[in-house]
Amino acid sequence: MSNRIFELDILRGLTVALMIIVDAPPDVMYKFLQHAQWEGINAADLIFPAFVFAMGMAAAISTSKRQPSPKKIFLRAGILFFVGFLLNVLIYFCFDWANLRLFGVLQRLALTYFFGMIIFLKLKNAAQISAAAILLLIISSAGFHIYAPENPFDEMHNISGAVDKIFPGVNHIYTPTHDPEGLYGIFASVASMLFGILAGKFLLKNELRKIILCGAAILILGYCWSFFDIVAKKIWTAPFALLNAGGDMIFIAALVILFKNFPRLRKYFRPLESLGKNPFFFFVAMNVSLIFLCSTMIFGTPLWLLLYRITFQGFISAEFGTLVFCVTWCLIWLIPAEIFNRRGIILKI
């Protein structure tokens, strides 16, 4: 098998494309492209766990030839965390530690990668990886029920929010009640990564049947678990992790089957492949560009909003115009992604 897995690049490219579309709508967006307010799953809630799952798959593939040292794992995680922190500084225009948000998407990825890799390198087979993932979800779930037995998942009073208020503290989290990328959610997000590692190991051996069966089993387990815990992205609950991981396994298996039987279709997915080869770069570049566009004022109006108003505002409907504008924004990023792909530029941490 080649150094790159086409289907994995497609999955990563799809997650980056969807992140670009849903991250900063200038107007009202369709509800399914918004994050669920608390409980439930919308399409937007599938993106981040899919990226974590893909990170796990990439880890399984990269370590099949050579295992990284703990020092290298720490360095990679540290760079990711630092870049995410710098984005927070830019987003909030805040250099005052008293009010600056500490965590974010890249910071969650950094901590998930670090702990996920440390656990993975201690495990020997698929059974141990599965057991470790389930154990992490049991710990996560138990914490909610032990902390608040009568109402474990109350938005205003739960263990995830309580941990956030202790560290990094109420002045450094996304909302006054909790941070969606806070510390406690790492238990379940590491489990999501381990499921990705499991899928990656199966894919390396071309064991598609195992991927499908495992994905179906995880989906069933997630559905059963949802009778006890809510499905919520903002606190990354156990059933949320399971339902996403199971779906991602089925999806990656479907991609492998599709391109195996219809190889000519690969060329139509090249734009997603191009994005997927440099996912972290384009995520950061997109966010930096958005910060610039939203902070640059033209006649008292943010440039980002002005561009929307002179192009697609009110096109058929507010929701449709917003969607077309955001899709156009995504299509623009396919141009540098394709240039990178043609020149063989792959930026790694």
For residue 308 the two structure tokens come to 């929307």
Place 66 in a pLDDT band, splitting at 50, 70 and 90.
Answer: confident
Q: What is the pLDDT of residue 96?
A: 65
More confident residue, 89 or 152: 152
Q: Strands, DSSP E only, in the chain? A: 297-298, 301-302
φ/ψ (deg, to 5) at 168: -85, 0
Mean pLDDT confidence for 107-118: 98
User: How many whole angstroms separate alpha carbon 312 and alpha carbon 292?
Assistant: 20
Asked if pLDDT for residue 260 goes beyond 50, the answer is: yes
Place 64 in a pLDDT band, splitting at 50, 70 and 90.
Answer: confident
CA distances, 272 to each of 83, 245, 311, 327, 338 (Å):
24, 21, 25, 13, 9
| Signed CA dihedral, 271, 20, 255, 349: sign only | positive
> Looking at beta carbons, which pairs linking 74-77 to residues 24 or more positions away fall under 8 Å?
74/114, 76/110, 76/113, 76/349, 77/110, 77/111, 77/113, 77/114
Asked if pLDDT for residue 2 goes beyond 80, the answer is: no
CA distances, 112 to each of 85, 107, 133, 204, 258 (Å):
16, 8, 12, 22, 30
Share of the chain above pLDDT 70, in %: 98
For residue 262 the two structure tokens come to 């219809």
75-85 pLDDT tens trace = 999 999 999 99
- pTM here is 0.95
- The position carrying tokens 């799953």 is 41
91-105, 140-154, 306-320 — which is least confidently predicted?
Answer: 91-105
Q: What is the pLDDT of residue 193?
A: 98
Q: What is the pLDDT of residue 3?
A: 62
SS3 label, residue 208: helix
Residue 36 · residue 235 · CB < 8 Å: no
Asked if pLDDT for residue 1 goes beyond 60, the answer is: no
Mean pLDDT confidence for 11-35: 93
More confident residue, 96 or 178: 178
CA distances, 265 to each of 69, 71, 229, 248 (Å):
38, 41, 40, 20
Place 97 in a pLDDT band, splitting at 50, 70 and 90.
Answer: confident
User: How many whole angstroms separate alpha carbon 306 and alpha carbon 295?
Assistant: 12
Mean pLDDT confidence for 235-263: 97
Q: Strands, DSSP E only, in 65-209? A: none
Kindly report the CA angle at 222 between 221 and 224, in degrees rounded to 5?
Answer: 65
26-40, 57-71, 82-96, 243-257 — which is least confidently predicted?
Answer: 82-96
212-234 pLDDT tens trace = 999 999 999 999 999 999 999 99
Taking residue 329's Cβ as centre, other Cβ atoms within 10 Å add up to 22
Mean pLDDT confidence for 187-208: 97
